[in-house]
């Protein structure tokens, strides 16, 4: 069987104590751990890390039962392509700790990634 890759948004829901999504997101990694296992990769780690000044601080809050898996270069390439499609189809770029509520709900309209 395959491990479940835990998405950045799931971790952020829990770490930021999102009032809507935290209960749902908190249960998903544990269900995966109890099943075939759960993991994060370097991209997920990097995306979550922006809220922390030191990697020790991030490591202290990440679940110890989340395996850390390497990321093949081909997977990183495909992740980039999926991200571009997401943004081109109206996906919203958010940074909850940096943007106001109104800014977080605006569709992405720029060319940066």
Whose CA is closest to 35, among 77, 65, 56, 11?
65
Alpha carbons 59 and 47: distance in angstroms, whole number: 13
The tens digit of pLDDT for each residue in 12-65 reads 999 999 999 899 998 988 888 888 989 999 989 988 998 888 989 999 988 677
Question: What is the pTM assigned to this prediction?
Answer: 0.67
């Amino acid at each position: 069987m395959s491990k479940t890759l835990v998405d950045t948004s799931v971790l952020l829901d829990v770490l930021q104590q999102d009032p809507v999504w935290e209960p749902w997101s908190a249960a998903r990694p544990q269900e995966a751990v109890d099943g075939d296992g759960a993991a994060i990769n370097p991209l997920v780690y990097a995306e979550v890390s922006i809220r922390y000044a030191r990697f020790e601080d991030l490591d202290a809050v990440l679940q110890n039962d989340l395996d850390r898996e390497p990321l093949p270069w081909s997977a990183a390439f495909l992740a980039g392509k999926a991200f571009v499609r997401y943004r081109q189809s109206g996906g919203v770029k958010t940074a909850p700790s940096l943007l106001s509520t109104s800014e977080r709900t605006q569709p992405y309209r720029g060319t940066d990634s």
